[in-house]
Structure 1
Amino acid sequence: MELKINNGLLEVRLESFGAELVGLRDLENDREYMWQKDPKFWAKCSPILFPFVGALKDNRYLYEGKEYNITTRHGFARDNEFKINSQTENSIEFLFESNEGTKKVYPFDFKLYLKYILEGKKLRLEYRVENLGDKKMYFSLGAHPAFATPLTSGIEYSDYYIEFEKEESGEVNILNGLYVNSQVKEKAFDGKKIVLNRDIFSKDALIIENPNSSEIMLKNDKNNYKVKFTYEGFKYIAFWNVPGAEYVCLEPWCGITDYDNCTGNIEDKKGIETLEVGEKFIRNIDIEIL
């Protein structure tokens, strides 16, 4: 089911399946900022990543001596229908909670909320995870929004760039197939700017661990395209697209795909988050059109 919120400045379109952001239109200049799901390249737009980010080695993990199997990347929340928990003129909150199906592959009782709040030309995404069980919960959480990089007359993909709030080392984790290479990192850029080009994601995502910045800008100086993207409290920020497609994903993660030398034990998983009984985990992302 598609839902909309509109404050006269921005129109936001949301799908209840996966609680997915599928449209963010600036009404002043009639510009759509979100990738519009071309299955030729990628049939998603902004999936939620839960309870894992990326791939599990051999599609499995171990918890309390038992093996569990999840064959999909990025967990399972994105492939489920969310309930509408609350709705106002400028906000919608979605809810997905554990059930018999999830317990077969993920033995924790939880509630996962994703709330969208429209304030002027800023859209806030509020993520909340609650541990409803009687034991410590292990999980990861991530966002994966794809921003359109429209190739209008005189504009090239390489005219777009990502600008960090602070200087970064330029070192990124690289993948060994589906998994993080445990042996090496790669120098991908210098300073505060990543200039996009058609080959930059030929080896898959660029993953920055413990970034200095909690704010980035996606820009194109030729057509005054500016998106301010704020992500506090996330352990990683990743960037990705399918080469040839007209978008770039900005991906804050609390968690990461398995390393190629991982043990498979969920307690040992790199980047894993934990919640004690009754605790809540909250993270926010702001997308502002400038």
Structure 2
Amino acid sequence: MFFDVNSWYNDTILNLGGYLMSNTILRNENVSVTLKSLGGELTSIKDASGTEYLWQGNPDFWSGQAPVLFPIVGCLRNGTATIGNSKTCSFGRHGLARKLEFTLVSSSETCAVYSLKADDSTKEQYPYDFELQMIYELTDHGVKISHKVINHGDIVMPYCIGGHPAFNCPVYEGENFEDYIVEFEQPETAACAQLTDDGLINNNDRIPVLDHETVIPVKHSLFYKDALIFDQLKSRTVALKHKESGHGILVRFPDFDYLGVWSSANDGPFVALEPWSGTSTCSDEDDVFEHKRGVRFLEPGEHETLSFVIEIL
């Protein structure tokens, strides 16, 4: 059952930089999750002991935490593309949702729903009457994150969507970054395309990362040329965990075709595990939005939901 948001005691209002940002806390006996209305995103994932697993956004390395990527993932060539035949869309990296204020429309002790609706400002960048609902539901030891995209307009709406949650690595004091591994559920053979200086994907330049293997030892040098982008995975589960004790985070992403694994090039003490429905513009693509790899289409009045789950190990 959902409660009226005006009376829900877990919702607190903060005045930051001239706008209101609300924080919502979800709890069960094993996990607590904090959410914020700016960007409609996660700001904390803690276990019952209070251990924090989500990266806390130290700006010395990377000020983000878990931005929502919509209606693009990554970058467009020169920041623009043709869309809807004769129209143009324009975005910075990862789209517009991550910098906008969502509305908390409903919440309970273990679930919250945030909504972002198109307005005149968003239509200047992305000419569609969209609604994006971010739905957070606690599981026994984690949180299910659902991205519900709604087309309120009268024309077909193309879009991409993705998550960008970053996790503390290491989790505990006394551990090292290199004590952790990224582990897939199935043996993988993967060569990851390299990113250009302007954030596009060069499919003609790939580096081998896995050869019938499940494990990538974590080291900072993996990320000196930006993210590892996996576009041909069999696995739909990935873990970031301590190689001996096994504690860490598991991400299940059955609805997403791509996965980014990233940390900052300045040796940031975190690793992001990022389920995506699409990617940056690729070297062998043109500048028509509808031609992008992984682009999804919503008919007028329709909606669809893509979800992934974060679990504490």
Give the shorter-chain TM-score range. Answer: over 0.9
Equivalent position amino acid for 2:264 in 1: V
For 1:124-273, list aligned pairs within 5 A.
124-150=144-170, 152=172, 154-177=174-197, 178-190=199-211, 191-243=213-265, 244-273=267-296
Counterpart CA distance in 1 for 2:23 and 2:261 is 27
Is the Cα contact below 8 Å between 2:192 and 2:209 reproduced in 1?
Answer: yes
Counterpart CA distance in 2 for 1:181 and 1:50 is 22
Which range is displaced more, 260-269 or 159-168?
Answer: 260-269
2:18 alignment partner in structure 1: none
Q: 2:310 aligns with which of 284, 287, 290?
A: 287
Residue 130 and residue 44 in structure 1: after superposition, are their counterparts in 2 closer, same or farther (change >3 A)?
Answer: same
Counterpart CA distance in 2 for 1:262 and 1:120 is 42
Question: How many angstroms does 1:105 deviate by?
Answer: 1.0
Is the Cα contact below 8 Å between 2:191 and 2:207 reproduced in 1?
Answer: yes
Counterpart CA distance in 2 for 1:57 and 1:51 is 15
Counterpart CA distance in 2 for 1:222 and 1:153 is 15
Gaps of at least 5 residues in structure 2 are: 1-21
Residue 151 and residue 90 in structure 1: after superposition, are their counterparts in 2 closer, same or farther (change >3 A)?
Answer: closer
Say which SS state the counterpart of residue 227 (structure 1) adopts: strand
Is the Cα contact below 8 Å between 1:151 and 1:157 reproduced in 2?
Answer: no
The reply on whether 1:11 has 2:29 as its aligned counterpart is no
The one-character-per-residue Cα deviations of 1:94-114 (angstroms, maximum 9, x if unpaired) are 000111111111111111011
Say which SS state the counterpart of residue 162 (structure 1) adopts: strand
Superposition TM-score, scaled by structure 2 size: 0.88
For 1:43-62, list aligned pairs within 5 A.
43-62=63-82
2:43 alignment partner in structure 1: 22
What is the aligned-residue identity percentage? 32
Question: How many angstroms does 1:67 deviate by?
Answer: 2.9
Residue 5 and residue 203 in structure 1: after superposition, are their counterparts in 2 closer, same or farther (change >3 A)?
Answer: same
Residue 224 and residue 163 in structure 1: after superposition, are their counterparts in 2 closer, same or farther (change >3 A)?
Answer: closer
Residue 153 and residue 137 in structure 1: after superposition, are their counterparts in 2 closer, same or farther (change >3 A)?
Answer: closer
For 1:50-89, list aligned pairs within 5 A.
50-63=70-83, 64-70=85-91, 72-89=92-109
Say which SS state the counterpart of residue 32 (structure 1) adopts: coil
Counterpart CA distance in 1 for 2:172 and 2:110 is 31
Counterpart CA distance in 2 for 1:212 and 1:94 is 32
Superposition TM-score, scaled by structure 1 size: 0.95
Is the Cα contact below 8 Å between 2:53 and 2:171 reproduced in 1?
Answer: no
Is the Cα contact below 8 Å between 2:181 and 2:243 reproduced in 1?
Answer: no
Residue 96 and residue 151 in structure 1: after superposition, are their counterparts in 2 closer, same or farther (change >3 A)?
Answer: closer
Residue 204 and residue 5 in structure 1: after superposition, are their counterparts in 2 closer, same or farther (change >3 A)?
Answer: same
Is the Cα contact below 8 Å between 1:209 and 1:237 reproduced in 2?
Answer: yes
Is the Cα contact below 8 Å between 2:156 and 2:300 reproduced in 1?
Answer: yes
Counterpart CA distance in 2 for 1:5 and 1:185 is 41
Residue 152 and residue 123 in structure 1: after superposition, are their counterparts in 2 closer, same or farther (change >3 A)?
Answer: closer
Is the Cα contact below 8 Å between 2:37 and 2:102 reproduced in 1?
Answer: yes
Is the Cα contact below 8 Å between 1:151 and 1:246 reproduced in 2?
Answer: no
Equivalent position amino acid for 1:183 in 2: N
Counterpart CA distance in 2 for 1:255 and 1:103 is 21
Counterpart CA distance in 1 for 2:204 and 2:281 is 13
Counterpart CA distance in 1 for 2:96 and 2:244 is 39
